[in-house]
């Protein structure tokens, strides 16, 4: 079952589907393309589940450890002996888990889009992009080589760009697509330099070799990476930090988060797949992939990553409380939850019970994929129904959309961490890990969990309660909640969001592959659940019935509220830095220098040459007798010189 040909099918099926739709389906089967993709993705998803079953319960465990299996590795480009770009497949607990998550969520989104995107002009193109994305993401998670990760990392960036800009007639969508691409590309520059630094010192690009060489301190590679440095920090730490910058860009961590809220311009199912469940967790996955190096060789950097994660988490949660666009609230919630995952990695050590942060982070990634995809798909249904993203156009939808209402409520409970839904288990593990290793991160995480419950239930009540639904679009009155293919994925994901917490993660996915028994911390659980319930009650008081309490509160803290409402002015700061400082000051100066000094030097040389040649040009008159005269006087002159100097 775990042979290379079966495993290759998982990423290659979506690729084939992408090629088929792009070259044939788009033209001849424009409406059937969606069905074809769904069938292909189902095959991929079933294969992934089979692989996961085989890996976790049949062949993966040897000597009490989950070992990495590499069924295939092809040398693609060799730089020097030992340093080559390979294309391969690695199976270890995290990659197998990601395979399942990516194919499963992608399948749900494919099915959902059959209904949501029905009647779109570029329906087939949409599916081809989705398949391209799925292929790239699968290639990323099974990568054996750092450069293979980078390769697919850029491919997911491109697919994300294409899908955000899907409605390319809307200027805001075009701007959002460009913003997402440029910001992540800027971060990827760090990633690339990081790869080069790490591979320069370790002499390899292969991840397993890299980990082996950079975690044992008696190798020459380790010595070379730690004894050289820049500004008092070793090259190893620099390399890892630069790699993390790439991850932070993709995962929308502060201050590189600005692209994610704007990316909500894309179709909602795309937001569910790319900007909530899979692509944005690539940064977390990257740190998890290289986790032994981070944890063993650079623990201080890992701690810093934890702080970046938790600060992003807290800031995003505060912003989410003030936003009124349903998808933007969810986008900030995504940033917040990814921050949680990174914080959890940050408080983890390598091996055994000390690695519980790692396990918890992967657990949260897993459960988050379900409930966040569910939230986005529910939001998609709501947007489909009311034709607006603004919560002020919603309200009172619980009777019009009973299934969506139920799913959204359960997903909100899951993200709020109410037992026994999935979010409760993963959050509890993260909080326990934070409590054991870093109290500062624990308390921020705890408060953020409360904020999360508050803003999610604020969104829930504003959308489904608050007041009676008023239809703003009379012509759309015939709308029902959505066709079966929009409801089915909601129900399946709802089961995932409810039940994913019962997966025994600390038995399956641990930092060193060895299962451990997690302890149950009653006091932490009581603290977290208590705060969540308290936040939900406050949200209920504020938003269940329309009242002026929220306005009163927000005007009493109006400065802080405005600050958060404007997303802490991050966009304005970026605007200032790029527009005023980069373009208008540095850019103008460089332009002046280029025009006047560089061009001036070239032009002056050309001018001097031309003037000189104009001056001596008449000598070449073309008159034979003139030449003969010159020749004659030349000879006479030579003779005179010979006589004069008496040679």
Q: CA-to-CA distance for 465 and 129, rounded, in angstroms? A: 36
Q: CA-to-CA distance for 255 and 243, rounded, in angstroms? A: 16
The residues, any chain, with a CB within 8 Å of residue 139's CB and separated by 6 or more, are: 11, 148, 151, 152, 155
Rounded to the nearest 10 degrees, the angle between the axes of helix 326-346 and helix 356-386 is: 180
The residues, any chain, with a CB within 8 Å of residue 500's CB and separated by 6 or more, are: 366, 367, 370, 422
Q: How far is the CB of 628 from another protein (least distance, A)?
A: 6
**479: left (phi > 0), else alpha (psi -120 to 50), else beta?**
beta
Q: CA-to-CA distance for 13 and 470, rounded, in angstroms? A: 45
Q: What is the DSSP secondary structure assignment for residue 65, as one 8-state letter?
A: E
Q: CA-to-CA distance for 402 and 399, rounded, in angstroms? A: 6
Tell me, rounded to whole angstroms, the distance of Cα 15 from its chain centroid. 20
Smaller CB separation from another protein, 59 or 629: 629
Q: CA-to-CA distance for 273 and 497, rounded, in angstroms? A: 15
Query: Three-state DSSP class for 239?
Result: helix
Contacting residues toward another protein, per CB under 8 A: 617-618, 620-625, 628-629, 632
Whole-Å CA distances, 223 to 218, 421, 639: 7, 47, 77
Q: Token match 């981070």: residue?
A: 294
The residues, any chain, with a CB within 8 Å of residue 293's CB and separated by 6 or more, are: 210, 211, 214, 215, 236, 240
**228: left (phi > 0), else alpha (psi -120 to 50), else beta?**
beta
β-pair type (61-62, 65-66): antiparallel
Q: Residue 199 is encoded by which pair of tokens?
A: 């591979």
DSSP characters over 151-217: HHHHHHHHHHHHHHTTSTTSHHHHHHHHHHHHHHHHHHHHHHHHHHHHHHHHS--BHHHHHHHHHST
- Per residue, the 3-state secondary structure of 555-622, as one string, reads HHCHHHHHHHHCHHHHHHHHHHHHHHHHHHHHHHHHHHHHHHHHHHHHHHHHHHHHHHHHHHHHHCCC
A 10 A CB-CB count for 558 gives: 11
Q: How far is the CB of 618 from another protein (least distance, A)?
A: 8
Query: Three-state DSSP class for 632?
Result: helix
Q: Token match 């593990």: residue?
A: 429
Tell me, rounded to whole angstroms, the distance of Cα 49 from its chain centroid. 24
β-pair type (83-91, 69-80): antiparallel
């Amino acid at each position: 079952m775990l042979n290379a040909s079966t495993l290759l099918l998982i990423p290659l099926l979506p690729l084939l589907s992408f090629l088929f739709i792009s070259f044939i389906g788009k033209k001849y089967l424009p409406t059937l393309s969606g069905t074809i993709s769904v069938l292909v993705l189902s095959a991929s998803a079933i294969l992934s589940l089979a692989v996961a079953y085989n890996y976790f319960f049949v062949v993966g465990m040897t000597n009490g450890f989950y070992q990495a299996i590499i069924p295939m590795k092809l040398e693609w480009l060799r730089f020097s002996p030992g340093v080559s770009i390979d294309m391969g497949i690695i199976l270890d607990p995290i990659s197998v888990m990601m395979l399942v998550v990516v194919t499963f969520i992608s399948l749900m989104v494919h099915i959902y889009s059959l209904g949501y995107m029905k009647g779109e002009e570029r329906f087939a193109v949409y599916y081809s992009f989705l398949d391209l994305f799925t292929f790239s993401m699968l290639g990323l998670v099974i990568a054996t080589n750092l450069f293979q990760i980078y390769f697919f990392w850029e491919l997911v960036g491109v697919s994300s760009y294409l899908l955000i800009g899907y409605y390319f007639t809307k200027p805001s969508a075009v701007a959002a697509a460009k913003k997402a691409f440029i910001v992540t590309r800027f971060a990827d520059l760090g990633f690339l330099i990081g790869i080069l630094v790490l591979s320069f010192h370790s002499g390899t690009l292969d991840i397993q070799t890299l980990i082996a060489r950079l975690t044992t301190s008696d190798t020459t590679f380790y010595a070379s990476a730690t004894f050289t440095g820049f500004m008092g920090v070793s090259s190893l730490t620099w390399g890892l930090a630069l790699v993390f910058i790439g991850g932070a860009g993709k995962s929308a961590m502060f201050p590189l988060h600005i692209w994610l809220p704007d990316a909500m311009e894309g179709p909602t199912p795309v937001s569910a797949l790319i900007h909530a469940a899979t692509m944005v967790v690539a940064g977390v996955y990257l740190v998890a992939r290289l986790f032994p190096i981070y944890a063993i060789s650079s623990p201080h950097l890992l701690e810093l990553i934890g702080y970046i994660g938790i600060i992003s988490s807290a800031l995003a949660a505060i912003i989410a409380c003030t936003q009124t666009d349903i998808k933007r609230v969810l986008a900030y919630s995504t940033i917040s939850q990814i921050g949680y995952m990174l914080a959890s990695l940050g408080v983890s050590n390598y091996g055994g019970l000390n690695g519980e942060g790692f396990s918890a982070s992967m657990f949260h990634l897993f459960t988050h994929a379900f409930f966040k995809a569910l939230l986005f798909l529910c939001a998609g249904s709501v947007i489909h129904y009311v034709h607006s993203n603004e919560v002020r156009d919603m309200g009172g939808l619980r009777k019009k959309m009973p299934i969506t209402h139920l799913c959204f409520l359960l997903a909100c409970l899951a993200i709020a961490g109410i037992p026994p839904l999935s979010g409760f288990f993963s959050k509890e593990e993260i909080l326990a890990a934070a409590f054991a290793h870093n109290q500062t991160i624990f308390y921020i995480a705890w408060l953020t969990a409360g904020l999360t419950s508050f803003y999610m239930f604020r969104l829930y009540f504003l959308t489904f309660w608050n007041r009676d639904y008023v239809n703003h679009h009379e012509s759309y009155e015939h709308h029902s909640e959505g066709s079966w293919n929009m409801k089915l994925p909601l129900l399946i994901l709802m089961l995932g969001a409810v039940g994913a917490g019962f997966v025994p993660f600390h038995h399956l996915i641990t930092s060193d592959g060895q299962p451990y028994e997690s302890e149950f911390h009653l006091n932490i659980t009581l603290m977290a659940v208590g705060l969540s319930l308290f936040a939900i009650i406050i949200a209920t008081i504020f938003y269940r019935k329309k009242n002026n309490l929220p306005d009163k509160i927000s005007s009493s803290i109006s400065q802080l509220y405005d600050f958060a409402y404007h997303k802490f002015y991050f966009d304005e700061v970026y605007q200032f830095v790029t527009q005023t400082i980069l373009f208008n000051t540095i850019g103008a100066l460089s332009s002046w220098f280029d025009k006047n000094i560089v061009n001036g030097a070239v032009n002056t040389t050309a001018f001097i040459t031309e003037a000189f040649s104009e001056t001596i040009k008449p000598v070449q008159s073309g008159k034979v007798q003139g030449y003969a005269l010159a020749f004659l006087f030349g000879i006479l002159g030579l003779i005179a010189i010979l006589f004069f100097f008496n040679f």
